[in-house]
Structure 1
Amino acid sequence: MVAEWGRRAPSLDVAPLQVIGRLLRWAEHGQRAIRDALQPLGLSYGDFDVLNTLRRRDDPDGTNPRDLARSSLVTSGAMTARLDRLVEAGLVARANDPSDRRAVLVRLTDRGERLATEALEAVLAADEELLAPLDDAQREQLAALLKTALAPHETD
């Protein structure tokens, strides 16, 4: 593609395509690998994200759904739909917040904990396969470069 543009429009600087195009293709491969890893477990990436956010946070009383939505960058309505699905599947449970009777907290069930663990292992295996061509030093370098490139675009 770059060579073709070089012939078609030699004055056009298409060098960014070499990076961005490859990043987009790599992201597609990564998304497909993660989707394929989660599919046998009956989970979407959104479900996986909720389960492993709860697992990672390890809040003893549970986590406020608003905090889950914020960490997942989804609307509260989208989070409610995810939680409804996960409650129906017996993977998470809702309970009243003891400090605010108008609020609820969400926590993993034992089954949800087991599935979250299994799903994380499957996703990490898919990630490892995607990164297999890189040695540890290259992975660290790539992570640092991506962090630098993303920093001006992140809104936290």
Structure 2
Amino acid sequence: MAAEWAALAPSLDVRALHVVGRVLRYAEHSRQAIVAALRPLGLSYGDFDVLNSLRRRAVPGGVNPTELTRSSLVTSGAMTARLDRLAAAGLVERGQDDRDRRAVLVRLTTAGEELATAALDAVLAADERLLAPLDEAGRDQLGALLRTVLAPLDGA
């Protein structure tokens, strides 16, 4: 692509395409690998995100759905649909908040905890395969570079 642009418009600086194009290709390969890792478990990436957000927080009484919505960067309607699907599958349960009887808390069931663990293992294995060409120093360097370019975009 860059060679074609150089031939067509030699004065055009297309060096950014080398980087951004590769980042986009890597992101698509990563997405496909994670989807493939979750498929045998019957989970979408969104479902995986909810299950492991609950697992990671490890709040005994559960988590408010609004908190999950904020951390997942989805609409409340999308989160409700995810929670409905996960509850119907017996992976999460909703309960009343003892501090505020109007509020609902969501927590993992035993089956949800087990599936969240298996899903995280599958995703981490996929991540390892994706990063296999890099040694530890290369991974650290790539992580630092990505953090640098993402910081202004994420408002950090």
1:15 aligns with 15
Determine if the alignment matches structure 1 residue 57 to structure 2 residue 57.
yes
1:101 aligns with 101
Distance in 2 separating the partners of 1:72 and 1:19? 27
Distance in 2 separating the partners of 1:76 and 1:102? 17
TM-score (norm 1): 0.98
1:37 aligns with 37
Counterpart of 1:55 in structure 2: which amino acid?
Answer: R
**SS at structure 2 position matched to 1:23:** helix
Counterpart of 1:72 in structure 2: which amino acid?
Answer: S
1:83 aligns with 83
CA shift, 1:60, in A, is: 1.0
**SS at structure 2 position matched to 1:117:** helix
Counterpart of 1:38 in structure 2: which amino acid?
Answer: L
Determine if the alignment matches structure 1 residue 120 to structure 2 residue 110.
no
Runs (4 or more) in structure 1 with deviation over 4 Å come to: none
Counterpart of 2:52 in structure 1: which amino acid?
Answer: N
1:72 aligns with 72
**SS at structure 2 position matched to 1:62:** coil
Distance in 2 separating the partners of 1:31 and 1:155? 23
CA shift, 1:155, in A, is: 3.7
Distance in 1 separating the partners of 2:5 and 2:66? 47
Distance in 2 separating the partners of 1:134 and 1:6? 31
- Please provide the CA RMSD for this pair: 0.7
Distance in 2 separating the partners of 1:13 and 1:138? 27
Name stretches of at least 5 consecutive residues in structure 2 with no aligned partner: none
Q: What do the CA deviations read for 1:31-55 (whole angstroms, capped 9, x no partner)?
A: 0000000001000000000000000
Distance in 1 separating the partners of 2:20 and 2:8? 20
2:141 aligns with 141
Q: What do the CA deviations read for 1:73-122 (whole angstroms, capped 9, x no partner)?
A: 01111101000000000000000011111110000000000000000000
CA shift, 1:29, in A, is: 0.2
Aligned-residue sequence identity (percent) comes to: 70
Name stretches of at least 5 consecutive residues in structure 1 with no aligned partner: none
